[in-house]
A and B are shown apart, each in its own frame.
Chain A
Amino acid sequence: MEKKISGLVFLLLLLAGLGALLYDGGAAAMRQALSSKEPFQQLENVVKDRFPLSETLRHLQVSLNYMSGLKEQNGVFISKDALMLDVQPKDQQTINENTQAMLRFSQAYDRASYVMLIPTACAVQQYKVPYNATAPLYNQKQQLIDDVYRQLSGHLTSIDVYPVLHNHQEEYLYYRTDSSPTGLGGYYIYTVAAQKLGLTPRGLGEFDVKHLDYEYYGDLYDLSPYREVEPDRISAYLFSKNWRGYAVTHSDKDGQRTYYSLYPEFRKELGDTKDILLGGDSPRIDIDISNPQYTKQLLIFGDDSFQSYLPFLLIHYEKVTFINTTKASAQQIEALDVSEYNQILFAYSVDHFVTEPVLSVLEGLLKEPTAS
């Protein structure tokens, strides 16, 4: 009898799985997969995509692993209240290439140049890392940031944001489910950067805060969907003291689009709430600010961490151009005229800087340096 019940349960589960996979166009998708170049790999991918309750099952897997002691999954540390990317350098060569690229660029263009390496959550909020006494953490401050700044010393001005972030480590500096700093984290980064850039940082009270979303789940949650971690709050910071008009022009493979607001809220309807911040992430973003007080132009080479600090920095400039060198192609930046800018800032999150040749795309600009 016991075997009969077992047999029935087992058969029902198999048939339920089969039925759900074939239902609603499943058979057609599988036929298409089987006619591809790697039929069985594609078939397995289709089955994974269409598997019933796949989200719930992935949560189950992550939770079971967590209960079994595995608190680092898919390169993400799972602490009690946050997910944090485990940053490990790919190799020393990548770091050297990125450092040398900044050096070559600053030498080719006689502009005031700055470098800012932004430590990630697992370096600043180390106390949150599970088993932090034994976890093989990469020492971002000593092994990378200090070393790179030492190498660039005399050529670029370094902006060390680690101390300020460390001093405020108990605050909401990094998203719980995303690898980027929050708006508040961005503000602290801005306070240090502004001083080094020769500006007077504004107080946090001078910015109006608007909370755009309380249910945001970011990229780390996609990697390790641990249910116990609470969703994030996405906030917009708008300088309230003097009115400024903004024209934010995004250039990507689809062409150009301009928003006349730093926070085009309709972007939420198109997908990600984070896309409201400066209109999202694009290979090139040009921001014109109608601001009679300031006449400086800033060129930033950076990565997706710009959404945290840039809304604050903007208020001190007439024009800011941001190039996401992790996304931009050589063609997208070949028209860039570096001579138009007074200052150049290289701003990267450590995780990108140690794993990708983030500045290789700038090689094209070094071939024919523009004489200033």
Chain B
Amino acid sequence: MEVYSLSFIYLFLPVMLLATWAVPARVRPEILLAASLLAYYFLAGSNLWLLLTILLFDWLIAWILEHCDRLPRFRKVLLFCAVAKVFLIFLIYALRFQRFGEVMPVGLTVVCVTSLGYVIDCYNGYALWERNPVNLFLLNLFFPKLYAGPIVSYGKELPHLRCLNVTLETLGKGGAIFVCGLAKTVIIAKSLKGIYEPLREIPIYRTTVLTVWVMVLMLAYMVYFGASGLCDIARGIGAMVGFQLPENFLHPYRAVSVNDFFSKFNLTVNRFVRRYLYINLGGANKDFLSNAANILLATILMSMWFGFRWNMVVWGGYFTCFLLLERYWIHKHEDKIPTLFRWLYCSFVVMISFVFWVGETPSESISFLQVMFGMSRVELFDKELLYLLNSNWLVLVIAPLWALGLPNAISTLAKRYLPKIWEVGAALGTGALLVIVTAYLL
């Protein structure tokens, strides 16, 4: 049962909301954890036991860490065990993917990373061992965020779980975010997929220059709408039950530098890598080579979030070059460059990077790059491309405008100048969008 299925929206969700509302606030975490376990079991069956084992392991590690603060070496061994466990799991699944094409169970990455963050916080003394495992397990296993995050931090988000307020306001706020997330995932991302997939199926010798450009752009927007839609679904459901989850995408395609892009794209994961790895390695305060190595390692880890492929390593390496360029060169001239040009530069760099997502191997991506820049003898465009563009003109207009934040700008203006109309309009808009999403799910 997916979070964007009718059975979830119209059966599971209302029952979960009613159950959460019906019980006193102190019991709500238990209800939500039970709902999350049930929903995950419906989705991924026996993989639930794997997730529970990981959490139990980390919970025990945290308990031991708290009780042996006079044994620094032993504490280091414990931390090493927790980190090694995550690497071992990722390695096993990377090999299984390479060998059998078997993908990682839903939520495994999110749970491993969140739970590891908790252990590291306990090790560093930023967090205490959580006596009540329900809160910790719920923080990790809260069902809707298992798809794509956001990654939560124990210190920041746990206090919310201790006072889960459920009111019509939280329901309204959460409902609006949830429905927007559904629209992004079910309508926009799916429509973009409908353009991307036929283009991707065209063999490279039969493709055209513009076909590859459109294909890369479609993938870039598809990734954004798919991932941010799932995060919005998670944030929306969280908000409905009083659990505030952080934003994970802040209009990344509005970024004016690659550094800015990483602070807006999948930002909770990037924050995690910076906090637990990059800063511990010394950040960017050393010599050029050390800084470059740190940035490279951090960027590759951020990119590996999206899959264990050589192309993702290249994707990380590609961005490292631009991050270094910005840090050591562009940074000095930043003020002299108009924002529009900086945005154009960043958009160009980011869009080109998605060539490494499109290609299965680095060599295939290079072939696509050659086509994009006219280094292959192919046509500029063909009828098939025109047909696809014609057939999807509206989504091609809506996707970039939405990604650039136009709906937010409109709602801000409406709220300021037409508050009364906005009140009714927002409520009706949420309802209407839910009906449209439902139509697309049938």
Contact = CB atoms under 8 A, between A and B. Distances in A.
Given A69-B390, A134-B386, A10 B423 contact: no
A68 B395 contact: yes
Contact of A3 (B173, B191, B390, B428): B173
Contacts of A70: 191, 194, 391-392
A47 B172 contact: no
B47 interface: no
A44 B6 CA distance: 7
A3 B394 CA distance: 30
Contacts of A57: 435, 438-439, 442
Given A47-B7, A47-B10, A71-B391, A64 B439 contact: yes
B100 interface: no
Contact of B430 (A6, A43, A54): A6
Given A9-B430, A18-B11, A48-B442, A131 B391 contact: yes
Contacts of A68: 191, 392-395
Interface in B147-162: none
Contacts, number: 143
B176 A6 contact: yes
Interface string B1-32: 10001110111011101000000000000000
B424 to A, nearest CB: 7
Contacts of B436: 60, 64
A203 to B, nearest CB: 42
Interface string A37-63: 000100110011001001001101100
A163 interface: no
Interface in B86-101: none
Interface string A2-22: 111111111101110110010
Given A6-B430, A40-B1, A61-B440, A18 B15 contact: yes
B214 interface: no
Contacts of B440: 61
Interface in B386-403: 386-387, 390-395
B387 A131 contact: yes
Nearest to B384: A136
A17 B386 CA distance: 40
A14 B10 contact: yes
B202 to A, nearest CB: 11
Contacts of B63: none
Nearest to A1: B423
A196 B42 CA distance: 62
A136 B9 CA distance: 38
Interface in B422-442: 422-424, 426-428, 430-431, 434-436, 438-440, 442
A336 interface: no
Nearest to A39: B42
18 contacts: A3-B170, A5-B424, A6-B175, A7-B172, A7-B175, A13-B431, A40-B42, A43-B11, A48-B442, A57-B438, A57-B442, A58-B439, A60-B436, A70-B194, A70-B391, A131-B387, A135-B387, A136-B384
Given A44-B1, A57-B438, A134-B390, 12 more contacts: A2-B422, A6-B175, A9-B430, A10-B175, A11-B168, A14-B9, A17-B438, A47-B11, A48-B6, A60-B439, A72-B391, A131-B391
Interface of A: 1-11, 13-15, 17-18, 21, 30, 40, 43-44, 47-48, 51, 54, 57-58, 60-61, 64, 67-72, 131, 133-136
Nearest 9 CB-CB pairs, A to B? A7-B172, A6-B172, A10-B175, A3-B172, A68-B394, A7-B171, A17-B10, A7-B168, A2-B423
